[in-house]
Amino acid sequence: MQCLPGEEKNSAQSAQFSRAAVLDLSPGQAGRMRAPDIDLICEAFAEVVDAKSHFTFRHSVGVTDAASAIGKAMGLKAERQQLLHRAALLHDLGKLRVPNSILDKPGKLDGDEWAVMKEHPALTRAILDRVTQFRELAYVAGAHHEKLDGSGYPDNLHAEALPLEARILAVADMYGALIEDRPYRNGFSAEQALGIMQRDAGGKLDDDCFAALSSVADTIRPSAAAEASSAPSGQPAPKLVKPVDSKPSMSIAS
């Protein structure tokens, strides 16, 4: 699906404003950045990450929409909602270090490739951790593949080490990954995705966060799901090699 002319313009304007926000800052002004400017910069980096692969086009933005909707449904305070929003935008920053030969591989990743893929959350955290004001955000973003039972990665963290925002982000990220196309399968419908996630709710995924997602799934911006699997304007849509399978047979790369 191609962007409509108006959408292209909005995206271009957004990127332009983001660049301007960065360029307007002299080193001496860095400590006085306004929150909206920080948000714009986070959005700009999310666009860079999403543009790396056809299959992750709009992934960061779609996950952010889902995470924000879940956070709102769970009554997060504005300050926590802001942290969640930024962590969602930047959660896959580490994927900039993952080669496209892995991200776009039309088949199952081998052991070495999967090991590289699994490094990306730690890379995200390492990058963001350099910014003092982003320390907590770095932890939340870097934990988006962790599971409550310790079966996630990169650190096999357990429930007690996973704050609410990280649990919400894990749920939003899995939902986003399931509804998007991947090189080895088409995207699932919202209903199918929730059915798959239900199996992990309460064990690997936070039950309350999953319940909140279920309650807002039909209100999450439809374009986030529809556009998530669409190639950027002017580029041919990638050819999928496998039809929808209601039982995913491999780990969910998100």
Any idea which residues carry the catalytic annotation? 95
Query: Site residues for Fe ion, window 14-43 (CB under 5 A)?
Result: none
Looking at the Cβ atoms of 229 and 254, the one nearer to Fe ion is 254
- Asked if residue 146 binds Fe ion (CB under 5 A), the reply is no
CA–CA separation, 235 and 125 (whole Å): 31
Span of 32-40, 89-97, 134-142, 159-167 interacting with Fe ion by CB under 5 A: 89-97
Q: CB within 8 A of 184, min separation 6: which ones?
A: 105, 106, 107, 108, 241, 242, 250
Looking at the Cβ atoms of 92 and 165, the one nearer to Fe ion is 92
- Asked if residue 92 binds Fe ion (CB under 5 A), the reply is yes
Residue 59 Cβ, how far from Fe ion at the closest point, in Å?
Answer: 8
Establish whether the linkage from the previous residue to 154 is cis, with ω within 30° of 0: yes
Distance between first and last Cα of the chain: 21
- Binding-site residue total for Fe ion (CB under 5 A)? 2
Residue 94 Cβ, how far from Fe ion at the closest point, in Å?
Answer: 8
Binding mask 189-228 for Fe ion (x = CB under 5 A): ----------------------------------------
Q: CB within 8 A of 142, min separation 6: which ones?
A: 121, 122, 124, 125, 126, 128, 129, 154
Single-letter amino acid, residue 22: V
Looking at the Cβ atoms of 49 and 148, the one nearer to Fe ion is 49
Single-letter amino acid, residue 27: P
Looking at the Cβ atoms of 50 and 92, the one nearer to Fe ion is 92
Give the 3-state secondary structure of residue 182: strand
Residues contributing to the site for Fe ion (CB under 5 A): 92, 254
